Structure 1
């Protein structure tokens, strides 16, 4: 990299200072913002025209962690994208934005002119809905917004057509969806659940990540020592599921149980989406379940895990109150979604209340190291939709070697009287079953995995309302795989899979 390119590449704060100096010298500052994943002639002409609106052109780019262009994107890292843009002679400065939308960049740069492409001129066509907010912010800061009118290309369409990162099976599946007009149907399906009322029932889990630096074996013991670096707490379990659902549906209520000792009640309340209401019961003894994972900070590999919990089944008055609340309220919701982690909350009377009263019941029973072989989907005699992984399906069916299709069709569907089942299979995608239809296989979409924690819960959270809305199995399973691919790119539960990211990812894949 030349010194000139390096000088053009700045932090957002330094770019803001550069803009201040330029304005003080009488220059007109123009800001252009975007992903710029694959720099092409459309970008070049767009930026050339942007420069014509002033005398100094600053370009900001979306950080890698906020690129909502589908799995395996961006193709080029933020550093390489900066370098490509800095190589253009008419670009004076390039910086990485600090947020998912352009607003932090606009606030920092305070451009005289903010320039977008012609495809943003009609705000109704903006999937993010952010162009209106950006225009208002620019004008509040004394600037104007302009739209370029040159030829346009889509980086996403070019990448999908000429640089497709997927294997032939995935490419074939996406081609079929495009050919049958899947994009419009999928958008309509996602929009159709916006007014739903959802009740989410299940175990609260506090996921704690402790980042450590592995050192070496201790001289006198057969163990590896680690040096603590930092830590994070996340609202996991049913809370993470509710936050995913809340981006798609209007109203989400959570019915859960917290421990009377070390309840984390304030933390839980502070980490829920605005349209999520907590309906918590308190257990006298024991803590709110907390799972502490020790993680190699350099590789993000999990080293070991410690559980803090009391997983003895609820009983007595608390069990009666939980079952009574479900029986009284379940019929008021379009969807009752059960995240059953097998940590003692969901007992036989609670299952009975769910099965007898939910208008549409979606269930996941998770197998984990605390309940292996004991928390099976067959504890539910009825469900309208079941979502479990392949290991959970095999345990519930008692079949080690049968095909997933045979397990679903011949064993699980009859055993739990469920007409809709999806079995997720990690890198193999998922297999879906709807009564009266042939099984449907949808390939996996992610090949960049940061953290697998919560990916299955994200799949469940997104697909459950879509199933309740009557979505086609093929479309629902595809959207679920998109949600899972987005989730494995997120550390813990730092953020949720949101509607905008989901729609933009689907659109990018099907262009």
Structure 2
């Protein structure tokens, strides 16, 4: 009877088969959930080899979205029932490289969608190709006459995080947009935040004061603020430079970091993981205002777009914001996100910046700008556009509306349009950072000259993906967008 094997056991078995002159094939993926397209793929793969092994990605290494529908063990057991599959192993890695190194297959077999290596948004296929060829094997692509999407099947069955809506979007246009983004050079300016999540367990209520008594179980730091925006963007572009204050955390190597202040911004959130409940948070801020000389330094960098993520905690004052726009307007494309939060509520408004190319804000920030509350999205967009000035009479204003989706106003004063997209998320883990992800993709689409309609959809998809993890523990990748596109195409 077939059983789940370790990579070592699979390697030993493959070596014995090779000694008998057998050709070994290897397929690798998550296969969550197994469907007819996978079975067609395995059946064709078996035709070019004598022995077919399948390895799967372990749960914690799946980056698509949130928690897999089926555990590693269940996915592996399903594969064992296929007569064309000789053996199955679980790989504790993001790629198939450890499996290829162990099994040393004659053929590493992928689906037709990987035939153009550039279309693999994760770029793992390049390492896998090098590894199989280094070990004397070859990369082979099946024809995949039957094509299904596990992500879409999950959505249609009501078990995935996304709602299967028809947004009239194709994988091809998403891939084309991603290809354009890969040529960009981007600058990000704003406060870098260290998000410190301190897990606690409640032991009761203090006997001397009406406050919860807790003990700490774990503390984890994440790169947030402008750092989160930069992390998202770095996965899509050719080059990125972050102009910000210093961080308690290491900046990823794919981001060129330009420290413009020695101050730090740390938000410590105390929460109870078992109940997904936050008790309270505290902020430690030592940031000082950026020196004006950095404005010219940003200009000399010559980015395709300057993305300003202003969290209103001292790095950019109102007068400095005006100087940035006055000096760089017309020289660079400029995107603006001005966050209203507990540290600056009512004092960090959108009119801090005018004459930019693009703005992203939520309904609360729009109402703060206008000085009154309105729930009519068209009214909000029109009145905000009147408040803000735009270069060459052009405007591009996005408003995010949580469970109500998002909207975009674009065009000139005399001729403009408003587009709307619905909420894509069925279940949410956390919403912190979703606006940052939305803003990041909106700016990249603007810099890459993507159509307004597709720009709104891609930005909305990025925000949806971000709801599937806690705060800034992950960053958006091109593969995330392709996965959601399969659900809403």
TM-score, with normalisation over the residues of structure 1? 0.82
State the shift of 1:157 in Å. 9.0
CA contact (8 A) 1:243 1:273 kept: no
CA contact (8 A) 2:66 2:468 kept: no
Q: 1:87-102 alignment to 2 at 5 Å?
A: 87-102=81-96
State the shift of 1:189 in Å. 3.0
Change over 3 Å in CA distance of 1:450–1:109 after alignment to 2: farther
- Aligned residue among 372, 397, 418 for 1:399: 372
Determine the C-alpha separation between the residues in 2 that align with 1:123 and 1:150. Answer: 16
Determine the C-alpha separation between the residues in 2 that align with 1:389 and 1:112. Answer: 54
Determine the C-alpha separation between the residues in 2 that align with 1:296 and 1:161. Answer: 29
The residue number in structure 2 matching 1:483 is 462
The residue number in structure 2 matching 1:17 is 9
Q: 1:33-48 alignment to 2 at 5 Å?
A: 33-48=28-43
CA contact (8 A) 2:336 2:356 kept: yes
- Aligned residue among 283, 286, 299 for 1:330: 299
The residue number in structure 2 matching 1:295 is 271
Q: Secondary structure at the match of 1:438?
A: strand
Q: Secondary structure at the match of 1:501?
A: helix
The residue number in structure 1 matching 2:252 is 272
State the shift of 1:300 in Å. 4.2
Determine the C-alpha separation between the residues in 1 that align with 2:486 and 2:286. Answer: 45
Determine the C-alpha separation between the residues in 2 that align with 1:458 and 1:161. Answer: 22
Determine the C-alpha separation between the residues in 1 that align with 2:306 and 2:118. Answer: 33
The residue number in structure 2 matching 1:422 is 398
Q: 1:40-439 alignment to 2 at 5 Å?
A: 40-51=35-46, 56-64=51-59, 76-121=70-115, 123=117, 126-148=120-142, 151-156=145-150, 159=153, 163=157, 171-172=165-166, 174=167, 177-178=168-169, 182-258=170-246, 264=248, 267=249, 270-274=250-254, 276-283=255-262, 287-310=263-286, 314=289, 319=290, 322-327=291-296, 329-330=298-299, 332-358=302-328, 359-410=332-383, 412-418=384-390, 419-435=395-411, 436-439=415-418
State the shift of 1:67 in Å. 5.0
Q: Secondary structure at the match of 1:211?
A: strand
Q: Secondary structure at the match of 1:452?
A: coil
Determine the C-alpha separation between the residues in 2 that align with 1:161 and 1:193. Answer: 28
Instruction: Count residues in correspondence.
Output: 475
Q: Return 5+ residue gaps in structure 1 as ranges.
A: none
Determine the C-alpha separation between the residues in 2 that align with 1:392 and 1:112. Answer: 58
Q: Return 5+ residue gaps in structure 2 as ranges.
A: none
Change over 3 Å in CA distance of 1:123–1:282 after alignment to 2: closer
* 2:475 aligned with 1:505: no
CA deviation digits over 1:93-142, x for unaligned, max 9? 43333333322332344435423334544545655444343222012234
CA contact (8 A) 1:482 1:505 kept: no
> RMSD of the alignment, in Å?
3.2
CA deviation digits over 1:491-510, x for unaligned, max 9? 343332123433x2354235
Determine the C-alpha separation between the residues in 2 that align with 1:333 and 1:364. Answer: 18
CA contact (8 A) 2:339 2:365 kept: yes
Determine the C-alpha separation between the residues in 1 that align with 2:161 and 2:135. Answer: 47
Change over 3 Å in CA distance of 1:221–1:106 after alignment to 2: farther
CA contact (8 A) 2:155 2:162 kept: no
- Aligned residue among 494, 497, 506 for 2:473: 494
Determine the C-alpha separation between the residues in 2 that align with 1:84 and 1:46. Answer: 15
